[in-house]
Amino acid sequence: MGIVVQKYGGSSVANAEKFRRVARRIAWKRQQGEDVVVVVSAPGDTTDDLLEKAGELTSSPSAREMDVLLSTGEQISIALLSMTLQEIGCPAISLTGPQAGFRTDDHHRGAKISHIDTRRIKQELAEGKVVIVAGFQGLDQRGDITTLGRGGSDASAIALAAYLEADHCQIFSDVDGVYTSDPRLVPTAARLDEISYDEILELAAAGAQVMQLRSVEFAKQYGVEFEVLSSLAPLPNEGGVEQGTKVVAALSPHNNRVVSGVAVDSKVARITLLGLPDRPGVAARVFGALGKAKVNVDMIVQSAGTVANGSPNADIAFTCTRDDLDLALEVCQEVLTVFPGTQLVYDIDVAKVSIVGSAVASNYGVAATMFEALANTGVNIELITGSEIKISCLVRASQAVDALRAVHDKFELGKSAVPVSGK
């Protein structure tokens, strides 16, 4: 058989019982004849505990020393997990990130993997052992410990799968996959059996709570396909079925769906600039200033055509995150001083509802179907933007969930996907 890389997050190893559960799942995989390499995060609250300890001593810890401190969390995990496997008769060995061959740049607390020297891992696999690797960490050229930043364990697993040319990469957490929408908001949301990198990136950008974006970007870059699974699901040898969501480069041919998921983002604000002169360079001036101030502008709509005081006027509306609102207003205020008679208004009672799907742009009528669903529910659309694989509508915040459900139902997402196991 081949090599399987599994990754378990901190919540999967939060206590002794969970360690045992993870160990049984790993041992089962090995019994299938696979070479198993496991990447594990720090247990439960360990990282927060360490941050608190540092916080008692300094308000501005050096990034290098934080990496020395925080990397102990995963080191505790790998030792305990290896012991637990040995206890149930499964040969195992733990390796820290540096021991496992992870080499990175020297950007402490946000290092990038430059290379993985997999010799030691392969040697241990050849000796029949499960290899437990500390995620999130590596060594820079100077021999200093680095960390990849929070959530970096997913990136560790994906990079390892690439360097080992693994047959499978499985990311375990406390969710069993990617859903057509947030099940807390849309009760009929269904787990997808597969989703493309681009779809998952767009869903996240559209406000969906999906896994670490950076890991998906990383997977896309390395061409590593992986599966998102739940570590809480019954073990395959205890009546469970190993099923999650595969994150792939391109959907399988049989997956000819147009829309993969719908998402809502309530943390947005709309800013409207009224009565701007309708001439070249005005929009550039506004968004140039916003860009310089590092305000992330999302939807943009310019409505031209009115005439005031004898010259053509235009309104520009855009959205940004709530966090950026104050800064954006300040920047716009500054720009508007040049244009007398203009007006600045904003609105935080808005939300963005989006549909995402690989074939959104190439299928006629998708946008129309979405608008129809919203209209049937009495939801007014305030702004619209679209990309190759996404269409977003800004609606009243109070209507956001209704809008989300209506669109989800209209595209029959609850039916098109694999039913949720155990529900």
**Residue 61 or 236 having the CB closest to its own copies:** 61
**51 lies in the binding site for its own copies (CB under 8 A):** no
Q: Could you say which of 14, 45, 61, 369 contacts its own copies (CB under 8 A)?
A: 61
Strand order in the sheet with 113-116: 113-116, 102-104, 137-139, 145-147
Strand order in the sheet with 92-95: 92-95, 130-134, 35-40, 3-8, 168-173, 226-230, 245-248, 194-196
**Residue 92 or 328 having the CB closest to its own copies:** 92
Q: Could you say which of 33, 60, 307, 368 contacts its own copies (CB under 8 A)?
A: 60
| Cβ pair 10, 41 in contact under 8 A | yes
Backbone φ and ψ for 356, nearest 5 degrees, come out as: -130, 135
Token pair, residue 288, equals: 């140039």
Q: Which stretch binds its own copies (CB under 8 A): 143-151, 169-177, 227-235, 289-297?
A: 143-151
CB atoms inside a 10 Å sphere around CB 384:
14
**57 lies in the binding site for its own copies (CB under 8 A):** yes
Q: Report the nearest approach of its own copies to the CB of residue 358 (Å).
A: 44
Q: Site for its own copies (CB under 8 A): how many residues? A: 38
How far is Cα 413 from Cα 40, in angstroms, rounded to an integer?
A: 33
Q: Could you say which of 14, 20, 188, 361 contacts its own copies (CB under 8 A)?
A: 20
**Residue 79 or 397 having the CB closest to its own copies:** 79
**Residue 134 or 228 having the CB closest to its own copies:** 134
**Residue 80 or 290 having the CB closest to its own copies:** 80
Token pair, residue 128, equals: 């029949």
In order of 233, 309, 310, 338, 385, the CA distances from 416 in angstroms are: 23, 55, 55, 53, 25
**192 lies in the binding site for its own copies (CB under 8 A):** no
**37 lies in the binding site for its own copies (CB under 8 A):** no
Task: List the interface residues with its own copies, window 65-94 (CB under 8 A).
Answer: 65-66, 68-69, 71-72, 75-76, 78-80, 82-84, 86-87, 93-94
How far is Cα 157 from Cα 353, in angstroms, rounded to an integer?
A: 32
Half-sphere exposure of 154 (CA within 13 A, CB side): 22
How far is Cα 201 from Cα 206, in angstroms, rounded to an integer?
A: 9
How far is Cα 276 from Cα 156, in angstroms, rounded to an integer?
A: 49
Q: Report the nearest approach of its own copies to the CB of residue 351 (Å).
A: 42
Which is it for the CA torsion 66, 80, 120, 148, positive or negative? Answer: negative
CA 81 to chain centre: 26
**62 lies in the binding site for its own copies (CB under 8 A):** yes
How far is Cα 398 from Cα 349, in angstroms, rounded to an integer?
A: 7
**Residue 20 or 107 having the CB closest to its own copies:** 20
**Residue 56 or 364 having the CB closest to its own copies:** 56
Q: Could you say which of 33, 89, 143, 310 contacts its own copies (CB under 8 A)?
A: 143
Q: Is 178 helix (H, G, I), strand (E, B) or coil?
A: coil
Q: Report the nearest approach of its own copies to the CB of residue 68 (Å).
A: 4
**Residue 83 or 283 having the CB closest to its own copies:** 83
| Cβ pair 379, 403 in contact under 8 A | yes
Q: Is 104 helix (H, G, I), strand (E, B) or coil?
A: strand
**Residue 69 or 381 having the CB closest to its own copies:** 69
**Residue 48 or 65 having the CB closest to its own copies:** 65
Token pair, residue 104, equals: 């990175």
Backbone φ and ψ for 269, nearest 5 degrees, come out as: -135, 150
Task: List the interface residues with its own copies, window 384-413 (CB under 8 A).
Answer: none
Amino acid, single-letter form, for residue 375: A
Q: Report the nearest approach of its own copies to the CB of residue 75 (Å).
A: 5
Q: Could you say which of 45, 105, 106, 144 contacts its own copies (CB under 8 A)?
A: 144
How far is Cα 31 from Cα 90, in angstroms, rounded to an integer?
A: 9
Taking CB under 8 A as the rule, which mask of x and - marks residues 91-130 in contact with its own copies? Answer: --xx-x--x--------------------x----------
Q: Which stretch binds its own copies (CB under 8 A): 16-24, 249-257, 330-338, 339-347?
A: 16-24
Q: Report the nearest approach of its own copies to the CB of residue 235 (Å).
A: 18
How far is Cα 114 from Cα 309, in angstroms, rounded to an integer?
A: 60
**Residue 72 or 416 having the CB closest to its own copies:** 72
Residues that bind its own copies (CB under 8 A): 16, 19-20, 50, 53-54, 56-62, 64-66, 68-69, 71-72, 75-76, 78-80, 82-84, 86-87, 93-94, 96, 99, 120, 143-145
